[in-house]
Structure 1
Amino acid sequence: MLIRIVRMTFQPERTAEFLQIFRDSEALIRQQPGCRHVQLWQDADAPHVYCTYSHWDSAEALNAYRRSELFGRVWPATKALFAAPAQAFSVHPVDAASGLL
């Protein structure tokens, strides 16, 4: 499993637009092959900063989504609302007891 976290800082006056984009696309993202979970987080101290937290079967599944028509619509619309570049990273869960993925 691959976990993807994308931290996005929005122009404060444009957060409602982002939330509408997310509401309109959340279920469609969840339906993408290999997507197991999508969640939206809001920064506790900066209300115009959000993170998407998603689980994917693999990097290949995430990359297929990133090449999809859906992503091609959602990402440019979201990016237009940014106050700063997004920070994105992927991680794998680790069993701390064994040190294994």
Structure 2
Amino acid sequence: MFVRIVKMSFHEENIPKFLENFDSIKEKIRGSEGNRFLELYQDKYNPCIFFTYSYWETEEDLENYRRSALFDEVWTFTKQLFNDKPEAWSVDKLVSLT
């Protein structure tokens, strides 16, 4: 299992559109094959910056999602709202304390 972190920055006037869309598709993303966890964060000091944080069973699961019609729908809508290029990282969790 690995973690995918995506940083997105939006024009302020587009934030409500992004949040409304995310709310409508979050369960579909979470229900994607191999997805085990999904969260959305908003930067504490810059409200235009958001992060998605998700757990995937395998890289193939993430790539299958990225090739899906759902991802195409999500990304086509979301990328129109950006004010900066998105960034993404795939990382392995080394330590977790709960």
Give the TM-score normalised by structure 2. Answer: 0.95
Paired with 1:95 and 1:83, the residues of 2 have a C-alpha distance of: 34
Match of 2:48 in 1: 48
Is there any run of 5+ residues in structure 1 with no aligned partner, and where? 97-101
Give the alignment of 1:46-85 within 5 angstroms. Answer: 46-85=46-85
The one-letter code of the counterpart of 2:12 is P
The CA RMSD measured in Å over matched residues stands at 1.1
- Aligned sequence identity (%): 41
User: Residue 37 of structure 1 aligns to which amino acid in structure 2?
Assistant: F
Partner in structure 2 of residue 90 of structure 1: 90
Q: Deviations over 1:29-49 (max 9, x none)?
A: 011000000000000000111
Structure 2 gaps, min length 5 = none
CA distance in 2, matches of 1:23, 1:79: 16
Q: In 2 relative to 1, CA 81–34 (structure 1 residues): closer, same or farther, beyond 3 Å?
A: same
The alpha-carbon deviation at position 69 of structure 1 amounts to 0.5
Secondary structure class of the residue paired with 1:80: helix
TM-score (norm 1): 0.92
Distance 1:95 1:66 in 2: 27
How many angstroms does 1:15 deviate by? Answer: 0.2
1:8 Cα deviation from its structure 2 partner: 0.3
Structure ID, larger Rg: 1
